[in-house]
């Protein structure tokens, strides 16, 4: 069973990586492929660095197991007397060079709980969200409409429920700001049987990369100014803050003894924290904050 599930996640990883690589010219493309094993599991981390389109894009598959379910899993208080757990999934982060292209994040995973007799319980989780710096309404509406179209055949209530959960989750309380313009986020979900749930995750992976690719095609070759690039660097600081302070995936990886360099590979390659937003960038900040306060849930 585990091998079949692993192949499903590796298929999702390959699909997304192939599409991202198609945007990079062979001349500038630098791909790092790290097949790794550790005391708690194994994985495959693929990193595009310093490309023509991506400063960094990371697509990671991991499969880890243990006897004690970390509290950051969100389920440790509800599960008792486990023999072992197994967590498997794919995570993606794209930090584009062009500040007109939004940062995107995608993650899908399954948790399996075993007692001495076999599989006791399981659930899935995941989602994807969009973090623009110089926002375009047409990109945001495309993002949300695509996700709604994907989830509706599974359950008409899923999109709105998961989109609202995304807005709630990707929020920086110390800044009183949402991280981006949302998407979907769900956890501890069972959709029919395990195979049907894994199929839902695969469909989400296809929708994520197809939609993000459309946005990349629109924006990646557009011209931008030094001011706009500096604004991207400053706003990337918000992304770093969320990942280090609030992200469950980061906490779970560290709590379970995962590989630090894989876990933190989602961090932006470069960012900036300024004491005050430069005056010449205030107009970009005003527009972005207005966009972040809007509800984009369809």
Catalytic residue positions, numbered:
105
Cβ within 8 Å of residue 81, ≥6 positions away = 115
User: Rounded CA gap, 230 and 165, in Å?
Assistant: 31
E strand spans, 116-153: 118-131
212 torsion bin: left (phi>0), alpha (psi -120 to 50), beta (else) = alpha
E strand spans, 69-228: 84-96, 103-115, 118-131, 171-172, 177-178, 183-189
Which among 58, 64, 122, 69 has a CA at the least distance from the CA of 91? 58
Q: Which two tokens stand for residue 100?
A: 């007109």
Which among 85, 62, 60, 47 has a CA at the least distance from the CA of 6? 62
């Amino acid at each position: 069973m585990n091998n079949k599930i692993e192949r499903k996640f590796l298929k999702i990883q390959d699909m997304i990586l192939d599409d991202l690589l198609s945007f990079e010219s062979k001349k500038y493309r630098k791909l790092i492929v790290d097949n790794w094993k550790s005391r708690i599991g194994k994985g495959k981390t693929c990193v595009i660095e310093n490309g023509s389109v991506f400063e960094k894009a990371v697509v990671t598959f991991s499969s880890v197991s243990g006897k004690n379910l970390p509290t950051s899993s969100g389920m440790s208080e509800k599960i008792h007397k486990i023999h072992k757990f197994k967590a498997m999934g794919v995570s993606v982060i794209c930090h584009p060079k062009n500040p007109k292209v939004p940062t995107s994040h995608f993650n899908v995973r399954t948790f399996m709980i075993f007692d001495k007799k076999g599989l006791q319980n399981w659930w899935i989780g995941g989602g994807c969200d969009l973090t623009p710096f110089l926002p375009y309404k047409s990109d945001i509406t495309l993002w949300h409409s695509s996700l709604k179209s994907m989830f509706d055949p599974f359950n008409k209530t899923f999109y709105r429920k998961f989109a609202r959960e995304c807005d709630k989750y990707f929020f920086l309380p110390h800044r009183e700001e949402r991280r981006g313009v949302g998407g979907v986020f769900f956890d501890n979900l069972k959709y029919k049987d395990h195979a049907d749930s894994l199929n839902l995750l695969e469909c989400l992976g296809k929708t994520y990369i197809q939609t993000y690719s459309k946005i990349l095609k629109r924006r990646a070759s557009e011209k931008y100014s030094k001011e706009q690039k500096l604004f991207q660097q400053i706003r990337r600081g918000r992304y770093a803050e969320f990942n280090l302070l609030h992200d469950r995936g980061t906490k779970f990886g560290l709590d379970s003894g995962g590989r630090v360099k894989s876990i933190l590979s989602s961090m932006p390659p470069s960012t900036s924290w300024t004491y005050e937003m430069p005056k010449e960038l205030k107009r970009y900040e005003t527009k972005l904050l207005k966009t972040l306060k809007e509800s984009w849930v369809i």
